[in-house]
Amino acid sequence: MLPEPEHQEPETTSTARRLSVLAEQSVRCAPACCGAVATITGSGTERRITATHPDLAPLASVQLACGDGPIPSALEAGEPVDTEDLLTEDRWPGYRALALESGVRSCFTLPYRRSGIEVTVSLYGYRPGSLEQSVRGPVGILVEEITTGLLRDRRYRAALAEVGQLEAALRSRAVIDQASGIVMHVLGCEAEQAFGLLRTISQRTNRKLAEVAEAVVRAKGRGLESELSALAGPAR
């Protein structure tokens, strides 16, 4: 039996936790780097950022804010971006200046897209030189595993939400059927007319049909005889 949705870890917490694991494990996969930044976005939501070191987070923020840097370039091209030495790099002047000020000389950004989710991992080095060879293989596998986990979480939550909606619909249907039976008894009408009267009351009072039905069931039809008869009158 599926657990109740309210007992599940919040989606934002789950995503942040997986993103943090991705950044930390990526650094372990590439001993030559000094830190990593992982980002994620999906379904048009704001991109989330996790950094293994506080000085690295602004490097991602400035790129996403101005749309210029290795991360935007990797996302646009759909390919990794390798920057061997920022001291001689002539691209992305704003990012370049901030990175050098932070002591970063090299970086490698790996983008990954799957089923509406965009993930990037950027690894940074204090020394010039390509990080590609130590990053691409193991980190690529790690990104795929983390993204697969995020998609699994999302589908699981969607399934829980659908189950909740179905259960609510079934409960509402049962109450509406019960209320229709009461109206049929009060007016001596058929099921179709009883349902139509409940729907009319719902529209006139600007209440949900299930709410009207619950009120009828609680009152067992008492106090509604005149209202129901007035509504049923023209149709009889």
Look at residue 3 in the predicted model and tell me its pLDDT.
41
DSSP string, 24-81: HHHHHH-TT-SEEEEEEEETTPPPEEEESSTTTHHHHHHHHHHT-SHHHHHHHHTS-E
pLDDT attached to residue 224:
64
Which residue positions in the chain have pLDDT lower than 50? 1-8, 234-236
Predicted pLDDT of residue 5: 41
Q: Rounded distance, CA 218 to CA 133, Å?
A: 71
